Amino acid sequence: MSFFSHKPIETVAEARARAKKLLPKDVFTALEAGSDGGSTIRANLRAFEQVGMIPRVGVEIPLHPDLKTTFMGQNIDLPVVIAPAAAQAMHPDGEVGVARASRRAGTALGLANFASMPVEDVASANPNTFAHVYLSGDRDTIADRVERFRRAGVKGLIFTLDLSGGRVAHQPRDWGSPVYPDGLGLGTMMKYAPTAVVHPRWTLRYLRRGSVPGLYAPNMSKKDGVVPTLVGALNEWVGTHIPTWDDMAWLSDLWGGPFMIKGLVTPDDARRALDVGATAIGVSNHGGNNLDTTPSPLRFLPAVVKAVGDQAEVTFDSGVRRGTDVVKALALGAQSVMIGRPWFYGLATDGERGVYEVLETFRITIERTLIGLGKSSIHDLTPEDLVIPDGFLIE
């Protein structure tokens, strides 16, 4: 057994505990922290606990219930998709490892605009890659990046509308906001040397690969080909105007293919997204990283599904930590569910293998939950399988 080996991950909570022990404090805080006091993060988790499930017994069910669905028009074998999440300093496998793990699990992934690895490498590792794009820089710059995504073979674009520019994204948090170093100069190395010494497993992983944690944003380069530092890319984002529906219409026309607008919770906003060309709606509050004290998007999900009808796919994220959460979101009308922090925990624990094991924990629990509900397929799920408290759902 190698120095980095461990027993397989069995739950997301277990992966989180291992990640907390292994990662430097600043890295783990950046992963865990939400906006302001973190009320929305707690609300997201609590919402799933408030919804119960009604078991059915004596029903003939196949050994492995049907979990197949689609994500933005692509067939996937698991209704759990990797959400785009950026600034990872978890493991040198990075997003390419995440791509390999998600492909092995039979699912898709969203690649963040601020990812640490080039889109070309990620899309090669998993053909079901969807590129996340920010409104950063002028339209010519954004159009160049979109064309690069197209050449790389990504299947669609994802735009997170609720995280509207760096002014919102980088707000203070009650537990402190980690500072991203701008490149890897001598001063940075001296500053973070004690962290490297105190967390030898995390450090040795990068040293063995001859790499450093993701301090650059290769997918934010411009025509000159220069790869900006993460801080430089963030500064460009901060200096760009807050996106509007007109920007969404322009981006949809520019891409001309599958296009998700994510970060919506109200039926009115979902209908606006359809009007500007969205083919998928992401019901989400960005995992608690935007406007604190926002209710869980689980409360809005049925109303959005009703408003959208069959005009677009609906996916869900925010607070998903186990297979039962996935089943509840699917029963309320989502076609698929995206996860953010859980795959980060897996990546931190053991790179590509850890991400795959986290995805498998979801698969196993979803199958077990379907059997408990007397369902042969995720497509048989309905709100009638749930116990929903009075006043829980928001129209």
Annotated binding site for FMN: 84-86, 160, 262, 284, 317-321, 340-341
Pairing between β-strand 129-132 and β-strand 52-53 as defined by DSSP bridges = unpaired
Residue the block writes with tokens 């309905």: 382
Catalytic, out of 132, 199, 286, 379: 286
Measured CA angle at 75 (ends 74, 79), to 5 deg? 105
For the chain, what is the total number of helices (H) and then of strands (E)?
15, 12
Residues that constitute the known binding site = 84-86, 134, 160, 262, 284, 286, 317-321, 340-341
Please give the backbone phi and psi of residue 203, each rounded to the nearest 5 degrees, phi first: -65, -45
Longest CA–CA separation in the chain, Å: 67
383-388: list long-range contacts, CB under 8 Å, 24+ apart: 383/302, 383/331, 383/332, 383/333, 384/54, 385/53, 385/54, 385/331, 386/51, 386/52, 386/53, 386/54, 386/328, 386/331, 386/332, 387/51, 387/52, 387/53, 387/54, 388/51
Residue the block writes with tokens 């430089």: 232
Residue 322 CB coordination number (10 Å): 18
Alpha-carbon span 178 to 191, nearest angstrom: 14
- Measured in whole angstroms, the distance separating CA 315 from the mean position of its chain's CA atoms is 11
The verdict on whether 64 is a catalytic residue reads no
Closest CA to 391 of 295, 312, 326: 295
Residues that constitute the known binding site for glyoxylate = 134, 286
Catalytic residue set = 286
